[in-house]
Amino acid sequence: MTDLMKSRVVLGAHNVSHVSSSDFPHNYDGDLAWDIEKFKKNFKVVVGSLNEMDMEFDLIGIDAAIANAFRRILIAEVPTMAIESIFFHDNNSVLFDEVLAHRIGLVPLNADPRLFEFRQWDDTPTDLNTIVFRLEVKCTTNPKALPDEVDPKQKYINSNVYSKDLIWQPKGAQEEVFADKPIKPVHDDILLAKLRPGQSIVMDLHAQKGIGKEHAKWSPVATASYRLLPDIQILKPITGDDAIKFQKCFPKGTIEIEKGQAYVANPRKDTASRECLRHKEFEDKVRLTRVRDHFIFSIESTGALTPDALFESAAQVLIDKCKNMKQALNDMGLPATYDE
């Protein structure tokens, strides 16, 4: 096996080869020597795109286990605020209390969890561990509606109950702390329930801090995922009509043609369809691979924190886990080789 192929996963027409995992990046041929300086030199984080809701970046020089650790921590162990307790005063809508409570609990809140404390089941609610909301909506007939009006939004007032109807009730010092960014649902137009004249919903709601592995409503991400960087290797020239056919086997922009010959323009756009491997004219002319230690990572936030802040929080959780493991080894009398 060439040195290049040692760092690649190979996609065949009907199988995937060279998938054997390493203990850590660049560990091949049974060489178990760990070199921290080599790791620092090879490890990189390259941000490709970033906005308030999603982020794509490259993690280079790490093992799949570490990339997957970040993914799992983002989904299940980075805390957020979510509505946990609901006190119903009135609900004569068509939705049962339990169903309505579940729907409301999944509404993402624009509240920084780092400014709150975890609340245990027997703790007294305070402004440091609880956010209070009030929902009070009653549906009535719209006196200005036309007699033949059929649109409920025009025929009735408050026919739909939206997340914007969750009104924050500041407690203690919360109004001062969150003066620049009042607490509210991330999105105002999430439909919670539908009402008709005579129906109403009145409730008080308490939000508290939690993590996704306890309940999905506390997960800070819509999704967190990664994929290996594609590496398309053209082994023999592909020209003429074959070049055009080869280009069509990939997503637009992956393969381009110059002077009648196909070349790889942007391998990141490849979706691993392996369509080109179905055609005999490309046998022995192309090898589809993935770079083993180069991960294209994607984070989609629910809106409470920006994606880069979420990744920083996930990294801190992983650091804390390592510290706990180091302490456990010390307690067992085993040496912890590396410091932070």
pLDDT in tens, 159-179: 999 999 999 999 999 999 999
Q: What percent of the chain has pLDDT over 70?
A: 92
**Region of poorest pLDDT, from 38-47, 70-79, 145-154, 293-302:** 38-47
Which residues, including other chains, have CB under 8 Å from residue 87's CB and lie 6 or more apart? 203, 204, 205, 206
pLDDT at residue 4, as a whole number: 63
Q: How confident is the model at residue 17 (pLDDT cuts 50, 70, 90)?
A: confident
pLDDT digits (tens, 9 = 90+) for 224-249: 999 999 999 999 999 999 999 999 99
Task: Tell me which of 83 and 5 has the higher pLDDT.
Answer: 83
DSSP of 181-235: S---BS-S--EEEE--TT-EEEEEEEEEEE-TTT-GGG-SEEEEEEEEEEEEEE-
271 domain residue, yes or no: no
Question: Do 207 and 228 have their domain in common?
Answer: no
Average predicted confidence (pLDDT) for the chain: 91
Pair (50, 65) in one structural domain: yes
Same domain, 54 and 179: no
How much is the pLDDT for 24?
A: 53
- Rg of the chain in Å (alpha carbons): 27
Confirm whether 304 is domain-assigned: no
Q: Is the pTM of this model over 0.85?
A: yes
Kindly report the CATH number assigned to the domain that includes residue 37. 3.30.1360.10
> What's the domain range around 57?
3-77+223-235+285-299
Q: How many domains does the chain have?
A: 2
Domain identity same for 121 and 69: no
Q: Is the pLDDT of residue 30 over 60?
A: no
Report pLDDT digits (tens) over 52-104: 999 999 999 888 889 999 999 999 999 999 999 999 999 999 999 999 999 99
The neighbouring-strand residues paired with 156 are 141
Give the residue-averaged pLDDT of 133-159. 95
- Note whether 214 and 231 are within 8 A (CB): no
Co-location of 167 and 120 in the same domain: yes
Same-domain pairing of 66 and 85: no
